[in-house]
């Protein structure tokens, strides 16, 4: 039940962001433009990060990535807030040229827009090779019906997550905190154990996918103990195992995975 409710909320946010996006895209060329986003990031570090955090997660100022779901902020509103500040609050006006403010808005936007809507630099074909061979990703993840378990299916990852979220998932899987498929270890009354990821759960039963991809429906009546892991099953050492270029290419490939066609 809970899962379904979350899903609906998420779908509404996505729909709202999407509408917002397509309407704004034509208005300002900085939005979605990699050079403008990079320039905006520098300006953001210099003028905003002190209060909003380097990744917009908030501090003295509010979180810019996870705002109230029901009020997506459009680009013009953000532009005005940054240019004029918030009178009476601790948010200063920024004395910069309009095009620089647009670069900042483009950067903040890039933190939340689904990856498929961003122009992500990198070699998609090279990234594909890493996913299916060197990185070993396909041993645990499926794309378009091929690949393995127990990681989530990544067929629509670019349509669901921002570039930043995908990057964090790959580089710091345990940092993400929210595991859609939570690693779990179950001990049965009969003595046996089962390790895998929990993909669904009620008070009476749990569905667990093991390493081999087999789905187990576990009746809670027969369970002695359930231990959820706080660390992801996903390896945490890709930062060192893959080069910078390889990571960039992998991110480019993942960002293109969407059930909707790219917007640009």
Among 29, 139, 213, 222, binds ligand HEC (CB under 6 A): 139
Q: Is 180 in the site for ligand HEC (CB under 6 A)?
A: yes
Report if residue 237 touches ligand HEC, rule: CB under 6 A. no
Which tokens in the block code for residue 141?
């993840």
Handedness of CA 88, 94, 99, 100 (dihedral sign): negative
User: Which residues contact residue 123 at a Cβ distance below 8 angstroms, ignoring those fewer than 6 apart?
Assistant: 249, 252
232 near ligand HEC, rule: CB under 6 A: yes
Q: Find the binder of ligand HEC among 81, 126, 142, 171 (CB under 6 A).
A: 81
Note whether 135 binds ligand HEC by CB under 6 A. yes
Give the residue, chosen from 53, 58, 61, 121, that forms a contact with ligand HEC under the rule CB under 6 A: 61
Token pair of 76, please?
């013009």
Per CB under 6 A, 102 contacts ligand HEC: no
CA distance 100 to 21: 20
Structure token pair of residue 171:
């580089």
Q: Which position among 136, 187, 207, 226 is part of the footprint of ligand HEC (CB under 6 A)? A: 136
State how far the Cα of 227 lies from the Cα of 238, in Å rounded to an integer: 26
Tell me: cis bond preceding 150? Omega within 30 of 0 counts.
Answer: yes
* Closest of 159, 183, 157 to residue 170, by C-alpha: 157
Nearest distance in Å: CB 19, ligand HEC: 18
Site residues (vs ligand HEC, CB under 6 A) = 47-48, 50-52, 60-62, 64, 67, 78, 81-82, 86, 89-92, 94, 104, 108, 131, 135-137, 139-141, 150-152, 154, 157, 161, 166, 169-170, 173, 176, 179-181, 197, 232-235, 238, 250, 254
């Amino acid at each position: 039940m809970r899962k379904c409710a979350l899903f609906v909320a998420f779908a509404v946010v996505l729909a709202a962001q999407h509408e917002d996006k397509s309407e704004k895209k034509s208005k300002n060329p900085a939005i979605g433009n990699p050079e403008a986003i990079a320039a905006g990031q520098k300006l953001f570090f210099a003028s905003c990060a002190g209060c909003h955090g380097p990744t917009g997660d908030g501090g003295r100022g509010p979180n810019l990535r996870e705002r109230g779901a029901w009020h997506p902020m459009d680009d013009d509103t953000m532009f005005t807030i940054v240019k004029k500040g918030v009178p009476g609050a601790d948010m200063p006006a920024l004395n910069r040229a309009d095009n620089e403010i647009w670069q900042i808005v483009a950067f903040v936007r890039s933190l939340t827009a689904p990856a498929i809507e961003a122009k992500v630099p990198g070699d998609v074909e090279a990234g594909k090779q890493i996913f299916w061979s060197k990185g070993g990703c396909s041993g645990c993840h499926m794309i378009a019906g091929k690949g393995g378990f127990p990681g989530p299916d990544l067929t629509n990852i670019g349509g669901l997550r921002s570039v930043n979220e995908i990057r964090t998932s790959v580089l710091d899987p345990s940092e993400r905190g929210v595991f859609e498929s939570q690693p779990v270890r179950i001990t049965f009354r009969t003595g046996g154990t089962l390790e895998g990821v929990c993909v669904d759960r009620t008070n009476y039963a749990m569905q667990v996918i093991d390493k081999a991809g087999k789905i187990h429906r576990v009746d809670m009546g027969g369970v002695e103990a359930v231990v959820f892991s706080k660390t992801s099953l996903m390896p945490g050492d890709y930062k060192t195992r893959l080069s910078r270029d390889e990571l960039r290419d992998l991110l480019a490939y993942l960002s293109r995975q969407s059930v909707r066609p790219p917007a640009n």
